A and B are shown apart, each in its own frame.
Chain A
């Protein structure tokens, strides 16, 4: 994120450095400490999951595992790796993410390109149709009725199609296309290239950065989604891994509340280590791409807020 670098080097900082008051030095120490503490709070749950994932179930239910693994082992990873249901759900998530993102990208790029053409007759209406849906949506019941009557229940399309166009992403992309230099397109037009040719051969190659951003936006959205599957899918062989995890947690918590009512805590964390491994495996792809994509996400938010 480039813009936020500015205030740290602004005259405000450099001039005050000369005459930092004692109280300001104290403030700096307090501020830095508070921010470090914040980072610790942000990271702690991840560290704990990681520690639990390598610990034995016994150590976890004895309440010994916090920052570091106790009795480090790979048993839980092995158990999850041998679980076919887990891998099938994981595969479903990958599949839904790939197909969903592809469809979403087709819808978003084409519509954003059309909306970016300022001379187009009816453009205002086309924009209005999209923006209106940002402020009003049908609500969960009518959506459920629609998906049911389209016959999409218990098919992957119930998970893939409804979120396939985000108006926010659309506006970010439209803003990007509007800022492309028009000369290239005009030259191509004079050379006899049609709108489709211009779109595929001039505009898309110039838009790799924003396309990458949008692909990541949509991928994360599909990767994380569980609710559409929860609503519309009954067949476990179609479940995405998020729903698989949800059922794991729900099953454990039911057992926990029954166990707590009855006698002890042994039941409570019956599969805390399995849950931890499952969560880590869901997190890994996101954590892997995160360092590279973070700035795209940030610039996407900025673009959307400024131009949207």
Chain B
């Protein structure tokens, strides 16, 4: 708001402009001080703290470590077969989650979009959004109850003549459990942005398609889907960037030593190595590596999508 302050046309030096801004807007800068301090301490200090990946860290010592060891910890995990095992697990779980949980909201949004009764549509939406608000502990608690020896899943297995399965102790079941519970929790909430994009599709396009003799299916294929393509691409890029950050908390709650062979992912491995066994520098090096890969993948996905479909995040 510049009403109170007459603007001067003459160009000023930067320091003069800053002084003027401070004199006029000092309360705004004061208001910003506390949040800035917060961001500095709780966001930027940990970012800088990643240098312990290259420095030896002693508990009780400086949070930035004590002495340079260069790429030593990076070399350690690159030669660590356990690391590559969890890397592969992460890629498989992350990839499967992406394959299942990315298209599902699109399909659901298209289905909802065909519903004519508004109340029915609203009810379905409300119910499908609900799991989004649950704590991951509750979701995992539900999974444990449903998959216990007496749970619903095993009752079905027995009704079909099978023997009860200890789902949560079987490595071959872990990925299925993870992906299905993830889909259950995210599918409804994921439709919000698509439904918004669907309302923005121009009705004239449908009209034109009908005049050209397109049936409903063809209209969906040639009008609706291209209409929501920018949203799809944006969300896909974001999902690709975070796909190595496989739901750490959920894996931590769901896995146990019996399922490590398929369930252990990078973040749970670095949690155990770093915080349980106290090799903080080693774990920091792995964490940094994971972050760098995520960043590279977002950039790559962004670049490819800009080249191929002309949509990009920036």
A interface residues (Cβ-Cβ under 8 A, vs B)? 1, 3-13, 15-16, 21, 24, 27-28, 31-32, 34-35, 38-39, 41-45, 48-49, 52, 60-63, 66, 106-108, 110-111, 113-114, 117, 119-122, 126, 129-130, 133, 135-146, 148-150, 161-162, 164-165, 182, 185-186, 189-190, 194-196, 199, 220, 223-227, 231, 242-243, 245-246, 249, 252-253, 256-257, 260, 265, 268-269, 272, 275-276, 279, 282-283, 286, 290-291, 294, 297-298, 301-302, 305
CB < 8 Å: which of B137, B164, B192, B284 contacts A298?
Answer: B192
Query: Chain B nearest CB: distance from A47 CB in Å?
Result: 10
Subset of 13 A-B contacts with CB under 8 Å: A3-B196, A4-B199, A32-B120, A106-B34, A107-B38, A137-B43, A140-B271, A140-B274, A145-B46, A145-B57, A196-B27, A260-B166, A301-B193
Which B residues touch A4, using CB under 8 A?
Answer: 112, 121, 125, 195-196, 198-199
Main secondary structure of the interface of B (DSSP, over half): helix
Q: Are B27 and A48 in contact (CB under 8 A)?
A: no
Q: Are A257 and B256 in contact (CB under 8 A)?
A: yes
B interface residues (Cβ-Cβ under 8 A, vs A)? 1-4, 17-18, 21, 25, 27-29, 31-32, 34-36, 38-39, 41-50, 52, 57, 59, 63, 108, 111-118, 120-121, 123-131, 133-138, 140-142, 144-146, 148-152, 154-155, 158, 164, 166, 168-169, 184, 188, 192-193, 195-196, 198-199, 203, 206-207, 210, 215-216, 219, 248-249, 252-253, 256, 258, 267, 270-271, 274-275, 280, 283-284, 287-288, 290-291, 295, 298
The number of A-B residue pairs with CB atoms under 8 Å apart is 311
Report which residue of B46, B113, B140, B188 has the largest number of chain A beta carbons within 10 angstroms of its beta carbon.
Answer: B46
Q: Are B142 and A279 in contact (CB under 8 A)?
A: yes
Q: Are B283 and A141 in contact (CB under 8 A)?
A: yes
- Closest partner residue, chain A, to B164 (CB atom): A265
Given contacts A110-B32, A120-B25, contact A35 B115 (CB under 8 A): yes
Nearest 6 CB-CB pairings of A with B: A138-B46, A142-B49, A224-B135, A121-B21, A195-B27, A111-B35
